[in-house]
Amino acid sequence: MKLAEALLLRADHKKKLLSLRERIARNAMVQEGEQPKERVDDLLAEANSTLLAQQQLVRAINTANETARIADGRLLADILAQRDTLVAQHSLLVATIAATDKDVDRYSQREIKWLPQINVASLQKQADDLSRRIRETNVVLQSANWQIDVAA
C-alpha cells in the first residue's frame, strides 16, 4: 500500500469513529419499554476494532515518515515538521493582520483613534509568501506519498 492510501484510510477511520461515537450516544439511553435502534455493545466492539486498525495504520505511517527520504535526501518527517512550522507562522501572521481590523466606532474627532502598530501590507506579503511555500511543500509531500510504500 502506498503512503497516500494509508493516509486516506486513516482519515476514513477517523470519520468512522466519529460516526460510531454519535451512534453510540443516540442509542445509549432509550425510554422505558423501547428498544435501541442499534446495540451499543456491537457499536463499541466495532469502534474498538476500528481503533486497533487505526493504531496499526498510524504506526506504519509514522515508520514510513521517519525512514523514507525524498529525491533530495530529506526525510519525510523533516518536511512534515517544516510544513507544520510554516502553517503555524502563517496562522500567526493572519491573526496579527486580523487584529488590526477594528470597526470605526468614533462619533467625533475628539474620541480615541485606533492606529495599527504594524505594517499590514508587509505582513500580508509575508503571509502570502508563506502560503506559497506551504503549497510547494504540500506538492512535494503529495508526490512522495504516492511513491512511498507502507507496510500496513
Read off the DSSP letter of residue 110: T
Domain contains 49: yes
Domain count, the chain: 1
Q: Which positions ≥6 away from 69 have C-beta within 8 Å?
A: 75, 76
136 pLDDT higher than 90: yes
Task: Write out pLDDT tens, residues 24-43.
Answer: 999 999 999 999 999 999 99
Q: Is residue 151 part of a domain?
A: no
Structural domain including 89 reads 3-145
Q: Write phi, then psi, for 69 (nearest 5 degrees).
A: -120, 145
Residue 77 lies in a domain: yes
pLDDT digit string (tens) for 72-129? Answer: 999 999 999 999 999 999 999 999 999 998 766 666 666 777 788 999 999 999 999 9
Residue 61 lies in a domain: yes
Classify residue 99: in a domain, yes or no: yes
Buried b (16+ CB within 10 A) or exposed e, 16-40: beeebeebbeebeeeeeeeeeeeeb
pLDDT (0 to 100) of residue 102: 76
